[in-house]
Protein backbone atom coordinates (compact mmCIF):
# COMPACT_ATOMS: atom_id res chain seq x y z
CA UNK A 1 0.00 0.00 0.00
CA UNK A 2 2.91 2.33 0.86
CA UNK A 3 4.43 1.56 -2.59
CA UNK A 4 1.16 2.51 -4.37
CA UNK A 5 0.92 5.71 -2.34
CA UNK A 6 4.50 6.63 -3.33
CA UNK A 7 3.84 6.03 -7.05
CA UNK A 8 0.56 7.90 -6.84
CA UNK A 9 2.30 10.90 -5.27
CA UNK A 10 5.08 10.96 -7.87
CA UNK A 11 2.55 10.84 -10.72
CA UNK A 12 0.60 13.71 -9.21
CA UNK A 13 3.75 15.75 -8.73
CA UNK A 14 4.70 15.13 -12.38
CA UNK A 15 1.27 16.32 -13.58
CA UNK A 16 1.46 19.42 -11.40
CA UNK A 17 4.97 20.18 -12.71
CA UNK A 18 3.85 19.88 -16.33
CA UNK A 19 0.88 22.12 -15.69
CA UNK A 20 3.06 24.77 -14.05
CA UNK A 21 5.56 24.71 -16.91
CA UNK A 22 2.79 24.96 -19.51
CA UNK A 23 1.36 27.96 -17.68
CA UNK A 24 4.79 29.63 -17.58
CA UNK A 25 5.35 29.04 -21.31
CA UNK A 26 1.95 30.50 -22.21
CA UNK A 27 2.69 33.57 -20.08
CA UNK A 28 6.09 34.08 -21.76
CA UNK A 29 4.50 33.78 -25.21
CA UNK A 30 1.77 36.21 -24.21
CA UNK A 31 4.27 38.76 -22.87
CA UNK A 32 6.45 38.29 -25.96
CA UNK A 33 3.47 38.96 -28.22
CA UNK A 34 2.64 42.13 -26.30
CA UNK A 35 6.22 43.40 -26.46
CA UNK A 36 6.50 42.73 -30.18
CA UNK A 37 3.40 44.64 -31.22
CA UNK A 38 5.54 47.62 -32.22
CA UNK A 39 9.04 46.29 -33.06
CA UNK A 40 10.06 49.27 -35.16
CA UNK A 41 9.52 51.80 -32.39
CA UNK A 42 11.27 49.58 -29.83
CA UNK A 43 14.26 49.12 -32.13
CA UNK A 44 14.38 52.82 -32.86
CA UNK A 45 14.31 53.73 -29.16
CA UNK A 46 17.15 51.33 -28.41
CA UNK A 47 19.28 52.57 -31.28
CA UNK A 48 18.73 56.24 -30.54
CA UNK A 49 19.73 55.67 -26.91
CA UNK A 50 23.33 55.06 -28.02
CA UNK A 51 24.02 52.16 -25.66
CA UNK A 52 27.72 51.84 -24.77
CA UNK A 53 27.89 48.14 -25.58
CA UNK A 54 26.36 48.76 -28.98
CA UNK A 55 28.89 51.48 -29.74
CA UNK A 56 31.81 49.28 -28.74
CA UNK A 57 30.80 46.20 -30.71
CA UNK A 58 29.07 47.90 -33.66
CA UNK A 59 26.31 45.28 -33.60
CA UNK A 60 23.06 47.18 -33.34
CA UNK A 61 19.94 46.07 -35.19
CA UNK A 62 19.79 46.87 -38.91
CA UNK A 63 17.16 49.03 -40.53
CA UNK A 64 13.86 47.12 -40.61
CA UNK A 65 12.88 45.56 -43.94
CA UNK A 66 10.23 47.36 -46.00
CA UNK A 67 7.52 44.92 -44.91
CA UNK A 68 8.03 46.01 -41.30
CA UNK A 69 9.00 49.62 -41.85
CA UNK A 70 6.06 50.48 -44.05
CA UNK A 71 5.85 54.14 -44.95
CA UNK A 72 7.37 55.45 -41.71
CA UNK A 73 9.23 58.42 -43.14
CA UNK A 74 10.58 59.45 -39.73
CA UNK A 75 11.93 56.04 -38.69
CA UNK A 76 15.55 55.39 -37.76
CA UNK A 77 17.79 54.39 -40.68
CA UNK A 78 20.69 52.22 -39.53
CA UNK A 79 23.59 52.45 -41.99
CA UNK A 80 26.30 51.61 -39.48
CA UNK A 81 26.84 48.09 -40.79
CA UNK A 82 27.84 46.89 -44.22
CA UNK A 83 24.95 44.42 -44.35
CA UNK A 84 24.68 43.74 -48.12
CA UNK A 85 20.90 43.32 -48.43
CA UNK A 86 21.04 45.37 -51.66
CA UNK A 87 21.95 42.11 -53.42
CA UNK A 88 18.71 40.34 -52.51
CA UNK A 89 16.94 41.63 -55.62
CA UNK A 90 19.40 40.05 -58.06
CA UNK A 91 19.33 36.66 -56.36
CA UNK A 92 15.53 36.70 -56.17
CA UNK A 93 15.48 37.13 -59.95
CA UNK A 94 17.72 34.08 -60.30
CA UNK A 95 15.01 31.92 -58.74
CA UNK A 96 16.05 28.35 -57.96
CA UNK A 97 19.31 28.47 -59.91
CA UNK A 98 21.32 29.01 -56.73
CA UNK A 99 19.27 26.57 -54.63
CA UNK A 100 20.89 23.38 -53.37
CA UNK A 101 19.53 20.39 -51.46
CA UNK A 102 21.91 18.66 -49.05
CA UNK A 103 20.83 15.14 -48.00
CA UNK A 104 21.03 14.34 -44.31
CA UNK A 105 23.82 11.82 -44.85
CA UNK A 106 26.05 14.16 -46.88
CA UNK A 107 28.99 16.18 -45.48
CA UNK A 108 29.10 14.30 -42.18
CA UNK A 109 32.87 13.85 -42.02
CA UNK A 110 35.28 16.49 -40.77
CA UNK A 111 37.38 15.98 -43.88
CA UNK A 112 36.77 17.33 -47.38
CA UNK A 113 39.99 16.52 -49.24
CA UNK A 114 42.73 14.83 -47.22
CA UNK A 115 45.14 15.24 -50.14
CA UNK A 116 44.85 19.03 -50.02
CA UNK A 117 46.93 21.18 -47.69
CA UNK A 118 43.65 22.83 -46.63
CA UNK A 119 41.97 19.51 -45.85
CA UNK A 120 38.59 21.10 -45.00
CA UNK A 121 38.27 22.97 -48.33
CA UNK A 122 35.42 21.52 -50.41
CA UNK A 123 36.88 20.72 -53.87
CA UNK A 124 33.87 22.20 -55.69
CA UNK A 125 34.22 25.48 -53.81
CA UNK A 126 37.93 25.66 -54.58
CA UNK A 127 37.24 25.06 -58.26
CA UNK A 128 34.63 27.84 -58.40
CA UNK A 129 36.98 30.29 -56.64
CA UNK A 130 39.64 29.76 -59.30
CA UNK A 131 37.06 30.00 -62.09
CA UNK A 132 35.62 33.28 -60.80
CA UNK A 133 39.02 34.95 -60.43
CA UNK A 134 39.95 33.92 -63.96
CA UNK A 135 36.71 35.35 -65.37
CA UNK A 136 37.00 38.66 -63.52
CA UNK A 137 40.77 38.90 -63.78
CA UNK A 138 41.18 40.40 -60.30
CA UNK A 139 43.66 37.97 -58.72
CA UNK A 140 46.41 35.54 -59.66
CA UNK A 141 45.51 32.00 -58.60
CA UNK A 142 48.39 30.06 -60.19
CA UNK A 143 50.92 28.72 -57.69
CA UNK A 144 48.68 29.75 -54.78
CA UNK A 145 47.21 27.77 -51.90
CA UNK A 146 43.54 28.36 -51.18
CA UNK A 147 42.64 28.54 -47.50
CA UNK A 148 38.93 28.77 -46.66
CA UNK A 149 37.76 30.47 -43.49
CA UNK A 150 34.63 31.47 -41.61
CA UNK A 151 34.52 34.87 -43.25
CA UNK A 152 37.62 36.97 -43.81
CA UNK A 153 37.69 37.76 -40.07
CA UNK A 154 38.86 34.26 -39.18
CA UNK A 155 41.31 34.33 -42.08
CA UNK A 156 42.74 37.61 -40.79
CA UNK A 157 43.33 36.04 -37.38
CA UNK A 158 44.83 32.97 -39.05
CA UNK A 159 47.27 35.18 -40.99
CA UNK A 160 48.41 36.97 -37.83
CA UNK A 161 49.01 33.60 -36.17
CA UNK A 162 50.85 32.25 -39.21
CA UNK A 163 53.28 35.11 -39.90
CA UNK A 164 54.15 36.12 -36.31
CA UNK A 165 57.31 34.52 -34.86
CA UNK A 166 56.35 32.23 -32.01
CA UNK A 167 59.67 32.69 -30.21
CA UNK A 168 60.03 36.47 -30.43
CA UNK A 169 60.92 38.54 -27.35
CA UNK A 170 57.90 40.83 -27.89
CA UNK A 171 54.68 40.83 -29.91
CA UNK A 172 54.86 41.73 -33.60
CA UNK A 173 53.39 45.14 -34.48
CA UNK A 174 50.27 45.21 -36.67
CA UNK A 175 49.57 48.48 -38.51
CA UNK A 176 47.32 49.93 -41.20
CA UNK A 177 47.11 53.43 -42.70
CA UNK A 178 44.30 55.58 -41.27
CA UNK A 179 41.48 55.65 -41.98
CA UNK A 180 41.67 51.88 -41.47
CA UNK A 181 38.94 49.26 -41.13
CA UNK A 182 37.38 49.89 -37.73
CA UNK A 183 37.51 46.23 -36.64
CA UNK A 184 41.24 45.75 -37.22
CA UNK A 185 42.29 46.96 -33.72
CA UNK A 186 39.63 44.94 -31.91
CA UNK A 187 40.23 41.74 -33.91
CA UNK A 188 43.99 42.03 -33.46
CA UNK A 189 43.87 42.50 -29.69
CA UNK A 190 40.77 40.47 -28.76
CA UNK A 191 42.79 37.36 -27.80
CA UNK A 192 45.47 39.37 -25.96
CA UNK A 193 48.02 37.34 -27.89
CA UNK A 194 51.69 37.45 -27.04
CA UNK A 195 52.47 36.95 -30.74
CA UNK A 196 51.17 40.25 -32.14
CA UNK A 197 49.64 43.55 -31.06
CA UNK A 198 47.87 46.49 -32.68
CA UNK A 199 50.29 49.41 -33.25
CA UNK A 200 48.01 51.92 -34.95
CA UNK A 201 48.38 54.13 -38.02
CA UNK A 202 50.95 52.82 -40.48
CA UNK A 203 51.87 56.37 -41.50
CA UNK A 204 53.03 57.13 -37.97
CA UNK A 205 54.73 53.79 -37.32
CA UNK A 206 58.45 54.18 -36.57
CA UNK A 207 59.24 51.28 -34.29
CA UNK A 208 62.25 49.11 -35.12
CA UNK A 209 61.81 45.44 -35.83
CA UNK A 210 59.43 43.31 -37.91
CA UNK A 211 55.83 44.36 -38.52
CA UNK A 212 52.65 43.36 -40.32
CA UNK A 213 51.00 45.97 -42.55
CA UNK A 214 47.36 45.54 -43.55
CA UNK A 215 46.58 46.98 -46.97
CA UNK A 216 42.87 47.23 -47.77
CA UNK A 217 42.24 48.12 -51.41
CA UNK A 218 39.82 49.59 -52.25
CA UNK A 219 39.94 50.88 -48.72
CA UNK A 220 37.23 50.48 -46.12
CA UNK A 221 36.05 53.15 -45.20
CA UNK A 222 37.10 55.80 -47.75
CA UNK A 223 37.08 53.74 -50.98
CA UNK A 224 40.51 54.79 -52.25
CA UNK A 225 42.88 52.38 -53.99
CA UNK A 226 45.74 51.63 -51.59
CA UNK A 227 49.37 50.51 -51.53
CA UNK A 228 51.64 49.89 -48.56
CA UNK A 229 52.92 53.02 -46.81
CA UNK A 230 55.60 51.78 -44.40
CA UNK A 231 58.74 52.47 -46.40
CA UNK A 232 61.27 50.02 -44.99
CA UNK A 233 62.20 46.37 -44.95
CA UNK A 234 61.22 43.79 -42.37
CA UNK A 235 57.50 43.98 -42.94
CA UNK A 236 54.94 41.41 -44.01
CA UNK A 237 52.11 42.69 -46.21
CA UNK A 238 48.57 41.34 -45.96
CA UNK A 239 46.23 42.53 -48.73
CA UNK A 240 42.55 42.65 -47.83
CA UNK A 241 40.83 42.68 -51.23
CA UNK A 242 37.23 42.24 -50.10
CA UNK A 243 36.15 45.11 -52.39
CA UNK A 244 38.36 44.43 -55.40
CA UNK A 245 35.38 43.52 -57.59
CA UNK A 246 34.04 45.40 -60.65
CA UNK A 247 30.87 46.73 -58.98
CA UNK A 248 33.11 48.81 -56.69
CA UNK A 249 36.27 49.60 -58.64
CA UNK A 250 37.94 49.20 -62.03
CA UNK A 251 39.78 45.89 -62.40
CA UNK A 252 43.02 47.14 -63.93
CA UNK A 253 45.13 44.00 -63.44
CA UNK A 254 45.13 40.75 -61.48
CA UNK A 255 46.30 41.34 -57.90
CA UNK A 256 49.54 39.45 -57.36
CA UNK A 257 50.51 39.50 -53.67
CA UNK A 258 51.78 36.96 -51.19
CA UNK A 259 48.65 36.96 -49.01
CA UNK A 260 45.28 38.06 -50.41
CA UNK A 261 41.97 37.91 -48.55
CA UNK A 262 38.51 37.74 -50.15
CA UNK A 263 34.99 37.22 -48.83
CA UNK A 264 31.65 36.07 -50.22
CA UNK A 265 29.79 38.77 -48.29
CA UNK A 266 31.04 41.71 -50.35
CA UNK A 267 31.49 39.91 -53.68
CA UNK A 268 28.08 38.21 -53.98
CA UNK A 269 26.24 39.74 -51.01
CA UNK A 270 25.86 36.46 -49.07
CA UNK A 271 27.13 37.71 -45.72
CA UNK A 272 25.15 35.10 -43.80
CA UNK A 273 27.16 32.24 -45.28
CA UNK A 274 30.21 33.39 -43.29
CA UNK A 275 32.65 32.23 -45.95
CA UNK A 276 35.90 33.79 -47.09
CA UNK A 277 39.08 32.59 -48.72
CA UNK A 278 42.75 33.45 -48.85
CA UNK A 279 45.15 33.06 -51.76
CA UNK A 280 48.55 32.36 -50.23
CA UNK A 281 51.88 32.05 -52.03
CA UNK A 282 54.05 30.59 -49.28
CA UNK A 283 53.29 26.99 -48.36
CA UNK A 284 54.43 27.32 -44.74
CA UNK A 285 52.23 30.37 -44.17
CA UNK A 286 49.24 28.55 -45.68
CA UNK A 287 50.01 25.50 -43.55
CA UNK A 288 50.06 27.56 -40.34
CA UNK A 289 46.82 29.30 -41.32
CA UNK A 290 45.18 25.90 -41.78
CA UNK A 291 46.50 24.87 -38.36
CA UNK A 292 44.98 27.96 -36.73
CA UNK A 293 41.56 27.26 -38.26
CA UNK A 294 41.89 23.62 -37.23
CA UNK A 295 42.58 24.69 -33.64
CA UNK A 296 39.88 27.36 -33.49
CA UNK A 297 36.98 25.66 -35.30
CA UNK A 298 38.18 22.27 -36.66
CA UNK A 299 37.60 23.42 -40.21
CA UNK A 300 34.83 25.38 -41.91
CA UNK A 301 31.19 24.46 -42.46
CA UNK A 302 30.81 22.16 -45.46
CA UNK A 303 27.19 23.21 -45.93
CA UNK A 304 28.22 26.85 -46.28
CA UNK A 305 30.97 25.93 -48.71
CA UNK A 306 28.63 23.86 -50.88
CA UNK A 307 26.12 26.69 -50.98
CA UNK A 308 28.88 29.20 -51.75
CA UNK A 309 30.14 26.97 -54.56
CA UNK A 310 26.69 26.97 -56.15
CA UNK A 311 26.35 30.76 -55.80
CA UNK A 312 29.77 31.36 -57.38
CA UNK A 313 28.88 28.96 -60.19
CA UNK A 314 25.62 30.79 -60.94
CA UNK A 315 27.48 34.11 -60.80
CA UNK A 316 30.19 32.90 -63.19
CA UNK A 317 27.61 31.33 -65.51
CA UNK A 318 25.78 34.68 -65.70
CA UNK A 319 29.02 36.31 -66.85
CA UNK A 320 30.01 33.66 -69.38
CA UNK A 321 26.53 32.82 -70.68
CA UNK A 322 24.19 35.77 -70.02
CA UNK A 323 20.47 35.26 -70.60
CA UNK A 324 17.79 37.60 -71.93
CA UNK A 325 16.06 37.53 -68.54
CA UNK A 326 18.82 39.03 -66.38
CA UNK A 327 22.05 40.95 -66.85
CA UNK A 328 25.35 39.33 -65.86
CA UNK A 329 25.81 39.68 -62.12
CA UNK A 330 28.61 42.26 -62.12
CA UNK A 331 27.00 44.38 -64.82
CA UNK A 332 23.75 44.44 -62.85
CA UNK A 333 25.24 45.44 -59.50
CA UNK A 334 27.69 47.87 -61.15
CA UNK A 335 24.71 49.89 -62.45
CA UNK A 336 23.06 49.81 -59.03
CA UNK A 337 26.19 51.17 -57.34
CA UNK A 338 26.67 53.81 -60.06
CA UNK A 339 23.11 55.06 -59.59
CA UNK A 340 23.42 55.10 -55.82
CA UNK A 341 26.58 57.20 -55.97
CA UNK A 342 24.93 59.59 -58.43
CA UNK A 343 21.95 60.08 -56.11
CA UNK A 344 24.18 60.44 -53.06
CA UNK A 345 26.35 63.12 -54.65
CA UNK A 346 23.22 65.02 -55.69
CA UNK A 347 21.88 64.86 -52.12
CA UNK A 348 25.18 66.07 -50.65
CA UNK A 349 25.30 68.95 -53.10
CA UNK A 350 21.70 69.94 -52.36
CA UNK A 351 22.23 69.96 -48.59
CA UNK A 352 25.51 71.89 -48.67
CA UNK A 353 26.56 70.60 -45.25
CA UNK A 354 28.65 67.61 -46.32
CA UNK A 355 31.42 66.50 -48.66
CA UNK A 356 32.53 63.20 -50.22
CA UNK A 357 35.86 61.85 -51.55
CA UNK A 358 36.69 62.40 -55.20
CA UNK A 359 38.06 59.53 -57.29
CA UNK A 360 39.97 59.45 -60.55
CA UNK A 361 38.52 57.29 -63.34
CA UNK A 362 40.36 54.14 -64.37
CA UNK A 363 39.85 51.61 -67.14
CA UNK A 364 38.23 48.33 -66.12
CA UNK A 365 39.42 45.37 -68.15
CA UNK A 366 36.42 43.32 -67.09
CA UNK A 367 33.63 45.78 -67.93
CA UNK A 368 35.63 47.36 -70.80
CA UNK A 369 34.95 50.90 -69.70
CA UNK A 370 36.41 53.65 -67.51
CA UNK A 371 34.74 54.73 -64.30
CA UNK A 372 35.48 56.18 -60.87
CA UNK A 373 35.49 54.08 -57.72
CA UNK A 374 31.98 53.59 -56.36
CA UNK A 375 32.68 52.09 -52.94
CA UNK A 376 30.39 50.04 -50.75
CA UNK A 377 30.66 52.79 -48.12
CA UNK A 378 30.43 56.55 -48.29
CA UNK A 379 33.13 58.39 -46.31
CA UNK A 380 31.11 61.46 -45.47
CA UNK A 381 32.57 64.62 -43.94
CA UNK A 382 30.44 67.13 -42.04
CA UNK A 383 31.57 70.65 -42.78
CA UNK A 384 31.78 73.44 -40.20
CA UNK A 385 30.17 74.33 -37.88
CA UNK A 386 29.26 70.64 -37.33
CA UNK A 387 31.92 69.08 -35.07
CA UNK A 388 30.63 65.56 -34.44
CA UNK A 389 29.15 64.13 -37.62
CA UNK A 390 27.91 60.88 -36.08
CA UNK A 391 25.99 62.71 -33.34
CA UNK A 392 24.61 65.23 -35.81
CA UNK A 393 23.25 62.54 -38.12
CA UNK A 394 21.98 60.54 -35.13
CA UNK A 395 19.85 63.56 -34.23
CA UNK A 396 18.35 63.19 -37.73
CA UNK A 397 17.69 59.47 -37.08
CA UNK A 398 20.51 58.31 -39.36
CA UNK A 399 22.90 55.88 -37.66
CA UNK A 400 26.47 55.83 -38.97
CA UNK A 401 29.94 54.88 -37.72
CA UNK A 402 32.16 57.65 -36.38
CA UNK A 403 35.54 58.49 -37.88
CA UNK A 404 37.00 57.91 -34.42
CA UNK A 405 36.52 54.17 -34.97
CA UNK A 406 38.74 54.40 -38.06
CA UNK A 407 41.62 56.30 -36.48
CA UNK A 408 40.62 59.81 -37.57
CA UNK A 409 38.46 62.68 -36.28
CA UNK A 410 34.74 62.94 -35.45
CA UNK A 411 34.01 65.15 -38.47
CA UNK A 412 33.90 61.97 -40.59
CA UNK A 413 31.44 59.08 -40.66
CA UNK A 414 31.19 55.86 -42.65
CA UNK A 415 27.82 55.13 -44.23
CA UNK A 416 26.83 51.81 -45.78
CA UNK A 417 25.45 52.04 -49.31
CA UNK A 418 24.49 48.36 -49.46
CA UNK A 419 21.08 48.51 -47.75
CA UNK A 420 17.78 47.72 -49.48
CA UNK A 421 16.40 50.15 -52.06
CA UNK A 422 13.67 51.51 -49.79
CA UNK A 423 16.08 52.31 -46.96
CA UNK A 424 18.67 53.82 -49.28
CA UNK A 425 16.06 56.02 -50.99
CA UNK A 426 14.78 57.26 -47.65
CA UNK A 427 18.34 58.01 -46.52
CA UNK A 428 19.16 60.04 -49.64
CA UNK A 429 15.90 61.97 -49.37
CA UNK A 430 16.50 62.76 -45.70
CA UNK A 431 20.16 63.73 -46.23
CA UNK A 432 19.21 66.05 -49.09
CA UNK A 433 16.76 67.94 -46.87
CA UNK A 434 19.11 68.49 -43.92
CA UNK A 435 19.89 72.17 -43.44
CA UNK A 436 21.05 74.28 -40.51
CATH number at residue 64: 3.90.1150.10
Domain boundary pick from 320, 338, 373:
320
pLDDT tens for the chain, 436 residues long, are: 444 444 444 444 444 454 444 444 444 433 444 443 343 344 444 444 443 333 444 455 666 665 544 457 789 999 999 999 999 999 999 999 999 999 999 999 999 999 999 999 999 999 999 999 999 999 999 999 999 999 999 999 999 999 999 999 999 999 999 999 999 999 999 989 999 999 999 999 999 999 999 999 999 999 999 999 998 888 999 999 999 999 999 999 999 999 999 999 999 999 999 999 999 999 999 999 999 999 999 999 999 999 999 999 999 999 998 877 778 999 999 999 999 999 999 999 999 999 999 999 999 999 999 999 999 999 999 999 999 999 999 999 999 999 999 999 999 999 999 999 999 999 999 999 999 8
The tally of domains found in the chain comes to 2
Residues 388, 411, single domain; the answer is yes
Of 128, 403, 414, 150, the C-alpha closest to 299 is: 150
Task: Give exposure, 340-373, as e/b (b: 16+ Cβ within 10 Å).
Answer: bbebbeebbeebebbebbebeeeebbbbeeebbb
Query: Are residue 315 and residue 351 in the same domain, yes or no?
Result: no
Q: Which helix (H) or strand (E) holds 198?
A: strand 196-201
Please check whether residue 18 lies inside any domain of the structure: no
Whether 172 and 293 share a structural domain: yes
347 and 424 belong to one structural domain: yes
Same domain assignment for residues 140 and 227: yes
Contact between residue 272 and residue 304 where contact means Cβ atoms under 8 Å apart: no
Distances in whole angstroms, Cα of residue 397 to Cα of each of 40, 79, 107, 300, 353: 13, 10, 46, 38, 16
Size of the chain, expressed as the number of residues it contains: 436
Is residue 259 domain-shared with residue 380, that is, in the same domain?
Answer: no
| 123 shares a domain with 215 | yes
Q: Does 147 reside within a domain?
A: yes
What pTM was computed for the model? 0.85
Q: Are 298 and 407 members of one domain?
A: no
Sign of CA dihedral 163, 168, 171, 172: negative
CA 296 to mean position of chain CA atoms: 20
- 144 and 271 in a common domain: yes
Structural domain contains residue 138: yes
Amino acid sequence: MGRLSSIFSLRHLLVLSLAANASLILRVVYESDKSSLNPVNQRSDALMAGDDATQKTHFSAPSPPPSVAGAAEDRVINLDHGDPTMYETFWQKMGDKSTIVIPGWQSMSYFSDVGNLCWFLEPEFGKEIVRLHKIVGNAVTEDRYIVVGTGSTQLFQAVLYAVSPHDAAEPMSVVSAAPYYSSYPAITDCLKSGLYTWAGDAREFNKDGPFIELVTSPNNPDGHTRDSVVNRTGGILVHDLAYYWPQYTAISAPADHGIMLFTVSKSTGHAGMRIGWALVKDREVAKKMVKYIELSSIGVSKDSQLRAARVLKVLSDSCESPSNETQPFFNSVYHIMAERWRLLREAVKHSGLFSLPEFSPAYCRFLNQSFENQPAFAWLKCEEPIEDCEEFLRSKKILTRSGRQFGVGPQYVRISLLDRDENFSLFVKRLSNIHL
